[in-house]
Amino acid sequence: MNESKARACRRPTKNPNEGDHAKEDSKKLIHSFRSVTDFKTNGIHFKPSQTQSLKDVKFESKWIYGKFYLPMWFVSLYTKAFFLNMIAYELSPNNSTEGIVTTYIKFMKSLIVNPGDVKELRESRVLFCTLGSDKQVLKVFQDLNTYGADNPYILKEVKDELYHEINKYYRNKLKRWTAEFIQTYFRSPWSVVALVATVCILILTFLQTVYTMKSNFHEK
């Protein structure tokens, strides 16, 4: 695989400036968030799309959280070989494909950077894995080399929407703090129990203080 093949996936456009803007938006998105776990920590949760089309990627913004829809995929011993063959085919200069597989793989590689990201996608039913561990699944994506090829127009709409919502999210401190609060105190049943216990202790302490103050007032 040489550099000329990698360039083959980049189709010429009538407006080169438009392509530059699309690539710049992608860079901004990557700089804003680096992984699935980063998205979840900041109130954006992953859900399976209704189809397995690689273009069926969308984002929905709710009041205090967002939903990021990705197509469901099965990861097995044959996944790596399948995607490597598809990437090689798309990067071949003798075809007219738009490079959807290569672009999607590059997008997923920016989301899956540690085993925790694989775990989140599994629990969200986006990834179904037959491999032994999340580390093995991570290595499958790490070994998929796209040679820097990318079609900036594929997934551009969802990337632009994500970048817009991320900026709006960070400008809204209440929304960000609410998402962080939910992620911190409601991520497991034990966290909820600990929070309820803490609130009860604070209420009892407050009531005891009020009762003591009233008793002292009546004694005087």
The series of mean pLDDT values per 10 residues for the chain, 220 residues long, is 46 47 49 74 86 84 80 91 90 81 88 93 93 92 83 74 71 68 62 66 78 66
Q: Which helix (H) or strand (E) holds 59?
A: strand 58-61
pLDDT the model gives residue 115? 94
Domain ranges of the chain: 3-177, 188-219
DSSP conformation class of 1: -
- The count of residues in the chain is 220
pLDDT the model gives residue 14? 43
The token pair at 47 is 């859900």
Name the maximum alpha-carbon separation found in the chain.
96
CA-based nearest residue to 47, from 64, 78, 72: 72
CA-based nearest residue to 110, from 34, 5, 31: 34
pLDDT the model gives residue 43? 78
pLDDT the model gives residue 123? 93
- Asked whether 142 and 115 are in contact (CB, 8 A), the reply is no
pLDDT the model gives residue 11? 44
pLDDT the model gives residue 30? 45
Cα–Cα distance for residue pair 95/153, rounded to 1 Å: 18
Q: What is the pTM of this model?
A: 0.64
